[in-house]
Each structure stands twice: as structure tokens, then as C-alpha cells.
Structure 1
Amino acid sequence: MRRLGPAFLAVSLFAGCGGSEVPPSSEPIAQQEARLTGTDVDVPPECQGILTFANTASFATLDAYLPSDVVTNLVTRRASSPFVSLADVSSVRLVGQARLEQLAGGARAQGFIGSSCVGVLDGLAVSTDDAAAIVSLVNTISDSELHDVLPDAWNGAVNLLTLRPFTSVQAISNVAGIGDVGLRNIRNSATLSRPLEALINEVNLKGDWGHGGATMARHFDWWQVVTTNGRYQYGGLECFGLEPSSVPSGASVRPYLADATEVRNEILNTVSSANRNNQIPSSVIAAGMANLDALTAGRSFKGCYFGYANDPWSGHSVAIFVDTVNGFSVMTDTYWAE
């Protein structure tokens, strides 16, 4: 089985699709918004006009794009507190996916959003930059990583792999098995680690210093990395957090997961190995590590450590970490050669 660890239950943040209406959420707004703090927001800057439209447009203007009873509910709610997210808007009675799309359509028609905002898909507002990143990721991601990104949407993952390549994020959203949580997980995987990926690129460009160095990866096929055969030497394979059926042959299993501190220390050590001549800009390192901290705080990780050599005169030490819930993954490789 090409999978690191058990599946975890993901709870849908939104309800309703097509023309159907859904009852209001019984969950307090504060709890809904708690999930959207930090980097995991549901409205990118390019689409903020949707919320501005919902908060400021007159009853008559909103009524041109939405049913009157929905407008009444929106106006009544915003009078007590402005909308701060699509999840917040969706908590209003009679507002489901169809109404969010109509709201976005009105915002576009009234000039609140432009061409840089694709619109609302599966309860998530998507910018054109994010859409391009999502399409690129889905078209290139490995089987093992995609199933970690979509731990509770295996059918959706299989369908994506079968139907790709895609040319639009709308087509990805339309795939059976990809809903609110699935699209959000894919968006997060494609977009939320950009500063870290910039640091990884610098490490890979400048991390070779003759008789050694370091490389890193953000998107990779962990199964292929761990199980590749034909190396001169293979040793020290230690894994953690894996389902028994996923433990590679010959691996030892430690009884505890990795935490944010362990991941940070490994990445910082790898960056230091690559940056022996101080050729990586300090601003890139600071931004990348801050991004890593934001993505790993309070999280738990499964993965493996191992060493290998392609010949008797070199050696590699590899570490792989995968978030147990959302599939965020990172790999480090430090190496030496005589």
C-alpha cells in the first residue's frame, strides 16, 4: 500500500451545491473562523471584493442577483457583524454553494472583483494565480502524495489521476469525489508553502559545495524514494507513524511521531549544510523558515529517516516528513563524497 499512516476524518466546511439550499450551520461563527486563521483562508486578496459586496451593497443591488429571502437574511446578519469569510456567509440561512456563486457573480457584475478572481468553487474563492498552481500540482503530483493530501477522498484522488491532465480548476472541482475539503486541501498544498519552496529552490541551486552538500523537496513520491533498490548500500531505515502494511521491508519503527520542532531542526540543519558559503540570501531563509513554522505549528508528522550510497565513495542521509492530516510533506537530503 503506497500510504504513510492512517486516514483521518475530514469534516466538510460547507454544504449545498447546484441549486439546492441547505439549513444554516449550527456551529458558532467563532469556531468556523478558527479553522480559517493564519494561511488557511477561504477568500484570497484578489477575491475580497465578494465579501465587500456582501457587506456593503444595498438590498436592491443584492436583490438583483439573489432571491429576496436570501438578501433579507444577509442584510439582517451583516447589521450585527460584517462577513469576514465565505464560511461566515455560508452560516446564513438559505446560503449554500449556489448562492455563493450568485453572490460572486453579482460582485463581478458590479465591479467588486475582476479577472484576477476566478470565482467560488466548492465553497472556496480562487484567484487566477491559485488556479494555475492548483492545475499544475494536480497534473504533476505523485500518486502517494496525492493520497496523503486527500486522505478521505481516495475515489477523488483516483479520478484525478485517471482524468488528468486538466486545463482549469473548474474541471478539477467538477471531478467526482472532490468537494469542499478536497479542493481546499489541494489549494493549500499548491499555494501555502511558496516562501518555503523559494528557500528549497535556493538550497537546490546553491547547496552543492564540491565534496558534499544538500538538497530538499516539497513535492515528491515518498514511496519511490524510500523503496528504490539498486543502491550500493542501504542502511539505517527508521520510520514512524506508518500503517503496518506501509512499513518498508527492513525498516525499524519508532513509537512516536515527529513534531514541528523535529521538522524545523532537520530543515534548518539542511539549509545550514547548503549555505556554507553564505550564498543564500538571509531574507529568503527567514521567510522560508517563518512559512515552515506557520505550516507546522502544533502538527504531527509521519515519515522515515534512512541513509544510502550510490557507490563506496559517497553517502546520503535522507529525512521525510508528512503531515498526518493534510499531507504537507518535505524531504531533506544531505550528502558527502570523497
Structure 2
Amino acid sequence: MRHLGSAVLAVGLLVGCGGTDVEPSLESVERAQSALTSTDVDVAPECQGLITFVNTGSYATLDAYLPSDVVTRLVNQRATAPFATLAQVSAVQGMGPARLEQLEGGARAQSYIHASCVGVMDELAISADDDAAIVALVNTVSDSELHDILPDAWNGASNLLGLRPFTSTQAISDAAGIGTVSLRNLRNAATLSRPLEALIAAVDAVPQYDFSKTLARHFDWWAIVVANPHYREGTPTCFGLEPTSTPYGATVRPNLADAAEVRAKVLDAVTFANRNNAIPSSVVSAGLANLDMLTAGRSFKGCYTSYQDDPWSGHQVAIFVDTVNGFSVMTDFYWSE
């Protein structure tokens, strides 16, 4: 059973917007990246106008798009506590998926949201940037990683692999076996590690010679650890893998990895690559902060392994995969004679 994880990082989020008259501002990428670094966020900044619409639209305006009894409940609720999330709006009696579509239509017609907000699907309001990132992930992710991202939707993962390439998140959402939890997992995997991915790209771009340390966020762990034969292989040390995923002859340690272990390996690679201070400190600090956010309190399965594809070079690899959401990262120390 191919179930461990995949690697490297990806984060980031979107740009804030919303309003009644003015096109949403793209003023602050930094604010956008910090605004959506939580797995709990269900409205992209570009779609925040949906929440503004339900909180500030007049009764008559809302009544033009929703049944009057639903509008009454929304208005009464916001008078007590303004809505902050799409989940809170959805929890109001009568606000099912069809009503959310009507609400979105009203917000768009009233210029609270614009083209940068693609819309609501499976109780997530996603931006155009989210849409592109989710599609790119699903179209390119390995079998191993996708099944780790969707640990409770293996049929859905298999369907996505069989139906790709996709051209929209809506088509992904419509695939059999993909529901609200699955789409959120895919959104998180595609968008929540952008600062970390920027750091990884910077690390991997530093010129290296006979020795190098690289990082990865999305990769096929199965091909690295299990499937591909190499010229020479060391004895892996693995933890938390299912028996059918554990490489033959591997040493199995009882304890999972924690955030500190993952950070230590990533920091080691960053420090080695940046020994000449080639990477801007802002990229390093943002990437490590993002890593800390994604790993805090989490547990990871994975392997430490080594292999050679020829007698003159080799790799020492560490792979970590979140046991619940499939977030993964790999470090690779490469040497050659």
C-alpha cells in the first residue's frame, strides 16, 4: 500500500479584497501571504467581499437574492455577532450550497467580489490564484503524495489521477469522492506553504559543487524509498510507515518525528546552502516561520535513507510526512568525487 507522503513545501495565500464600488486592491502580497496561512480559513482574501456583503448589505438588497426567511435569520444573526467565516454563514438555517451560490451571485452583482474571486465550491471561497495552484497540484502531484493528502478519500484520489488533467477547481470538486474535507486538504497542500517554497527554491538555486544540500516539498517518496533500484543502497531507518510501505530490511524506530526534528533537518540544509549569505534574510525568516506554522504540534512519519546511482556520488535523504494531512518535506545531501 503506497501511503507515506511526498515532499517539499508550498504555502502562501492570497490578496485581500472586497467592497461595493472599487476593484479589489492588490496592494500587499505580504498581507495576503500572512492572511491565509491557516488550515481553518475558508474565505480567500480576494473573496472577503462575500462576508462583507452578508454583514452590510441591506435587507432589501439581500432579499433580492435569497428567500426572505433566510435573509431575516442572517440579519438577526449579524446584529448579534457579525459573520467572520463562510462556515458561520453556512450554519444559518436555510443556507445550504444552493443558497451560498445565490449569495455569491448577489455579492458579484453588487461588486463586492470580482474576477479575482473564482467563487464558492465545497464551502470554500477560493481566489483565482488558489484555483490555479489547486489545478497545478492535482495535475502534477505523484500518486504517493496525493493519497497522503487525501488519507480518507482514496477513491477520490484515484479518480483524480484517472481524470487529470483538469482545467478548473470546480471540475476537481465535481469529481466523485471529492467533498468538503478533500477539497480543503487540496487547497491547503497547494497554497499554504508558499513562503517555505520560496525558501526551498532559493536554497536549490544556490550554486553547489561536489557537496550540496537541497530541499523539496512535492516529490514521490515511494520512488525514492521503495520502488527504484539503485547502484548501492544503505539501510533505511523508518518510522510510522505501514508495514507494506516499509522498505525491505529497514530499521524501524518506534517514535515518530516531531516539529523540532523536521526543523533541524531543514535548517541544516538552509544553513549549508546559505553559508555565503546568498539568500536574503527575509526569505529565510519567512520560510522558516512558515515551516514552524505548518509543523507546530504535528507528528511525522518518514525515513532516513542513503543511496548511490554510481560509484562516484551519493545521496543522504530525510523524508518527513505529516501523519494526518500529508504535508511533507525532503532534505537531500548530495556528494560526488
TM-superposed CA distance for 1:250, in Å, is: 1.5
Instruction: Specify the code of the residue in structure 1 equivalent to 2:125.
Output: A
Cα 1:223/1:135, change in 2 over 3 Å? same
Cα 1:231/1:245, change in 2 over 3 Å? closer
Identity over aligned pairs, percent: 70
> Does residue 53 of the first structure (1) align with residue 42 of the second (2)?
no
Determine the C-alpha separation between the residues in 2 that align with 1:87 and 1:303. Answer: 34
Q: What residue is the counterpart of 1:277 in the other structure?
A: 276
Q: What residue is the counterpart of 1:150 in the other structure?
A: 150
Instruction: Provide the secondary structure at the position in 2 that maps to 1:216.
Output: strand
Cα 1:37/1:59, change in 2 over 3 Å? farther
Q: What residue is the counterpart of 2:11 in the other structure?
A: none
Instruction: Specify the code of the residue in structure 2 equivalent to 1:60.
Output: A
Cα 1:230/1:159, change in 2 over 3 Å? closer
Q: What residue is the counterpart of 1:197 in the other structure?
A: 197
Determine the C-alpha separation between the residues in 1 that align with 2:127 and 2:151. Answer: 25
TM-superposed CA distance for 1:175, in Å, is: 0.5
With the length of structure 1 as denominator, give the TM-score of the two structures. Answer: 0.88
Instruction: Specify the code of the residue in structure 2 equivalent to 1:283.
Output: S
Q: Which range moved further: 36-45 or 244-253?
A: 36-45
* Alignment check: 8 A CA contact 1:273 1:334 kept: no
- Cα distance per residue 1:219-243 (max 9 Å; x no partner): 1111001124442321130111111
Instruction: Specify the code of the residue in structure 2 equivalent to 1:312.
Output: P
* Alignment check: 8 A CA contact 1:309 1:315 kept: yes
Instruction: Specify the code of the residue in structure 1 equivalent to 2:223.
Output: Q
Spell out the pairing of 1:150-189 with structure 2 (5 A cutoff).
150-189=150-189
Structure 1: 4+ residue segments shifted above 6 A = none
Spell out the pairing of 1:28-67 with structure 2 (5 A cutoff).
38=38, 40-67=40-67
Determine the C-alpha separation between the residues in 2 that align with 1:296 and 1:85. Answer: 24
* Alignment check: 8 A CA contact 1:122 1:183 kept: yes
Cα 1:41/1:157, change in 2 over 3 Å? same
Instruction: Specify the code of the residue in structure 2 equivalent to 1:281.
Output: P
TM-superposed CA distance for 1:37, in Å, is: 8.2
Q: What residue is the counterpart of 1:22 in the other structure?
A: none
* Alignment check: 8 A CA contact 2:37 2:192 kept: no
Q: What residue is the counterpart of 1:287 in the other structure?
A: 286
Instruction: Provide the secondary structure at the position in 1 that maps to 2:94.
Output: coil
- Cα distance per residue 1:156-206 (max 9 Å; x no partner): 111101111011111111111111000000010001000101111111111
Instruction: Specify the code of the residue in structure 2 equivalent to 1:317.
Output: Q
| Greater relative CO (CA pairs within 8 A, separation 6+) | 2
TM-superposed CA distance for 1:79, in Å, is: 0.6
TM-superposed CA distance for 1:153, in Å, is: 0.7
Determine the C-alpha separation between the residues in 2 that align with 1:130 and 1:241. Answer: 31
Q: Alignment RMSD, CA only?
A: 1.4
Q: What residue is the counterpart of 1:323 in the other structure?
A: 322
- Cα distance per residue 1:288-316 (max 9 Å; x no partner): 00110111111111111011122333332
Aligned length: 307
* Alignment check: 8 A CA contact 1:42 1:124 kept: yes
> Does residue 304 of the first structure (1) align with residue 266 of the second (2)?
no
- Unpaired runs of 5+ in structure 1? 6-35
Determine the C-alpha separation between the residues in 2 that align with 1:136 and 1:155. Answer: 20
